[in-house]
Amino acid sequence: MTTATTRAATRPDDHAPAPASAPRYQGSGVLRQVGVLTGRSLRALRDPALIVPGLLEPILMLTVFSQVFKSVSQTSSFPAGVSYIDYLLPAFLVTSAISAGLKSGVALTTELNNGIVARFRSMPIRSVSILIGRNIADTVLSGVNMLVMLVAGALVFGFDPAGGVAGAAGALFIGVMLSWSLGWVFMALSAWLRRPEAMQPIGGIVNLVLLFASNAFVPTDGLPGWLRGFAEVNPMSHAITAARDLALGHADLASVLLTPALCLVIVLAAAPVAIRGFRRVG
């Protein structure tokens, strides 16, 4: 056999199919990613050192404010036939959503700085899954805190609103919706600021303004003119009014539906900003 014949025999066939390359792993679906990441964030429930302070904080605040402002129920501007705890607790469900949203922002900022997010970026995980998982987990934890607050209010402080269990559940729903929407707002701030030392003072200012310049603790009729004007346009006051009216059994359907609608608008506006800022990091 000649050298040319040998080369022709050993030369690969030009028409032979190319060997199939190994399929590239594209990662799991978005729903699966969100479920896993949500479960990861919810593992905080296993650590009492993390969960107990969050449960005790609203109870302690409710104890202090219900006693300090209790005399307000004796003024002429206070709704007749309503105890102060029935007036205050629905507002606390709403105002606690601010703290819950701030915790979402701070937690995301922490993970951006401690390398957790960098590890996620090395995996086939969508950025939106990380944010949605964080938001769902924090909303669930916020709902648990609010539920504990309702139970403690009923067993310890005598919370017994005219709206009954259905009204209290409606107020809880308003609080959870607000916590869900504010979580996206604070995550958007976190993704763009990326510094815990910047998040804390901003969150403190927002909390101070929205909380005390509202109808959470006293009716707006008893406030000074300039503060009353701000409290009446404060979006937190409208959410508090909706939750309070549900609990007290005289809810207006339009105002009740307005709050979830506004929460949805907030999410539609804040979520793209949060996602864009999160993708910009690193």
- 108-138 pLDDT, tens digit each: 888 888 878 778 877 878 888 889 999 999 9
Q: Does 273 have pLDDT greater than 90?
A: yes
Which amino acid does the sequence have at 175? G
Encode pLDDT of 49-80 as tens digits. 667 777 777 788 888 888 877 777 777 778 87
Its pTM stands at 0.81
Task: Provide CB contacts within 8 A for 95, sequence distance 6+.
Answer: 210, 211, 214, 216, 236, 240
Alpha helix (H) residue ranges in the chain: 3-10, 30-42, 48-68, 84-113, 116-121, 127-155, 164-193, 196-212, 225-233, 235-248, 253-280
User: Is there a contact between 195 and 109 (Cβ–Cβ < 8 Å)?
Assistant: yes
What's the pLDDT tens digit per position in 186-227?
999 888 887 777 777 887 788 888 888 888 888 888 788 888
Nearest residue to 210 (alpha-carbon basis) of 95, 106, 66: 95
Query: 205 CB contacts (<8 Å, ≥6 apart)?
Result: none
Burial class (CB in 10 A: 0-12, 13-18, 19+), 140: middle
Identity at 181, one-letter amino acid code = S
